[in-house]
Structure 1
Amino acid sequence: MSHDDFASEPVLGLPETPPVGEKILWQGRPDWWALSKESLSLKWVAGYFGVLALWRFVSVIDLMPFGQAFGAAFPFVIMGGVVIAMLVIVGVVQARATVYTVTNRRVAMRIGAALTVTLNLPYTELGSADLALRKNGNGTIALSLLGKTQLSYLVCWPHVRPWYMKRTQPALRCIPEAAKIAEMIAEAAQARVTTPRVERRAPQMAALAAE
């Protein structure tokens, strides 16, 4: 299900060349701005520092002139800006280090900026794909796993369905044209699951079975 991706990639986003018969249907990355907002809670961080600045301003406005009160609150605005800038940088780095790949046999996710890992998720081991769609067409596709397969929430973050820690669901986060990609995954998975598997036996074994 996973592969440590320290070696060079023969194909972008994949740890090895796809086997015969496997075709890449789509590759893409998260939208860095949407990833920063959703996974790093930029709005909440901005609101927090905004409340601190407002509280500081209101608490001193009756003790000093307007300009001085604004100056007393302004450091919180600066701190908030610095924190938000740092979070945006993290979002950009995470997005650029990520490659999502959809083939006719699996979904592969090359994730991680510091520790790069590739998750190989065959359709035969996926239970469902849940789409969370935004108004602008961006969205997140969360993949639930069958059986006893377990993935680490921290290793996969932020490429996971938020707060599903007990049963981690890897996710294609904040991708453009998410509805189109979700339909592509559904069609490929349906075709893969319903394709009969033919096993070849050695001639000697086949002859013994006939006798």
Structure 2
Amino acid sequence: MKEYEYEPVRGLPEHLPPGEEMLWQGAPRWTTLARRAFHSWKVALYFALIIAWRVLADLAAGRALAEVLAGALWVLVLGLLAVGGLSLLAWAMARATVYTITTRRVVFRFGVALQMIVNFPFAKIQSAELKRHLDGTGDIPLLLEPSERTSYILLWPHARPWHFRQPQPMLRSIPDVAKVAEILSNALNTYSSETESADAAVADVASVEATGASEGTTTP
């Protein structure tokens, strides 16, 4: 994970090396990010309940309607400011975020005031999951190798909720998430097959060399 200023390719700190191809790029849908990461709907519900309680309490106390409405108005203003602030922050974070899937890794670029980038090579990814939402978006958390440590705080909100001890980076609030999950799954499977083939080839070469050395040994 590192900070960077120069971006030769959108979402990447440098050009991809020869043999590596970009398969997909995308970003969170800010409206879903506001609801699920910043819980803007819960804040809106909280203020709605406060307003309802305030109105009922004032009416029960026999206050004039104008006074009741005035008392509820300032609570409404506070609620709108709170929800608006959370929505603005979600929009800014979504706008600053780029998720990239290549044939070798997953790359996160994120950060509003200070942009950062983090690479997750396929060799360090054990598996990926898919969680769909009713609005058609979804999340794709990545389960990393136990030896691969990352920071939940630095990744948030691009981390699976409540997984603090072993943080799981997460492509969050992705539109058309099923298609993206299929792209990632195919890329991981292809990489795994290529890696296994390469390991098998190395093992065969080592076996041949060992056999040749054994046959070339003479007993005095």
Give the equivalent residue in structure 1 for 2:151: 152
Within a 5 Å distance, the mapping from 1:45-84 to structure 2 comes to 45-62=43-60, 63-84=62-83
Alignment of 1:133-148 (within 5 A): 133-148=132-147
Q: What residue number does 1:12 align with?
A: 10
Contact 2:28–2:172 (CA under 8 A) maintained in structure 1 = yes
For residue 40 of structure 1, give the secondary structure of its aligned residue in structure 2: coil
Given that 1:126 and 1:146 are in contact with CA atoms closer than 8 Å, whether structure 2 keeps it comes out as yes
Unaligned runs of 5+ in 1: 200-205
For each residue in 1:103-151, what CA deviation from the matched residue of structure 2 results, as whole angstroms up to 9, or x when unmatched?
1111101011122111111111111111111233211100110132121
Q: Is the 8 Å Cα contact of residues 31 and 90 (structure 2) preserved in structure 1?
A: yes
Alignment of 1:24 with 2:17, yes or no, is no
Partner deviation per Cα, 1:43-85 (whole Å, 9 max, x = no partner): 1100111111111111111321223212212211110001111
- Aligned pair count? 201
Native 8 Å contact 1:33 1:92 kept in 2: yes
Larger Rg: 2
- Write the letter of the residue equivalent to 1:10: P
Q: How does 1:33-182 map to 2 (within 5 A)?
A: 33-62=31-60, 63-182=62-181
How much does 1:3 deviate?
A: 2.7
Question: Does the CA-based 8 Å contact 2:146-2:166 persist in structure 1?
Answer: no
CA distance in 2, matches of 1:145, 1:176: 23
- Report SS of the residue matched to 1:64: coil
What is the rounded CA distance, in whole Å, between the counterparts of 2:46 and 2:149 in structure 1? 35
Residue aligned with 1:108, SS: strand
Partner of 2:2: 3
Q: What's the TM-score once normalised by structure 2's chain length? A: 0.86
Query: Structure 1 CA distance, aligned partners of 2:190 and 2:143?
Result: 18
Q: Secondary structure at the match of 1:128?
A: strand
TM normalised by structure 1 equals 0.90
Identity of aligned residues (%): 35
Q: Distance in 2 between matches of 1:67 and 1:130?
A: 54
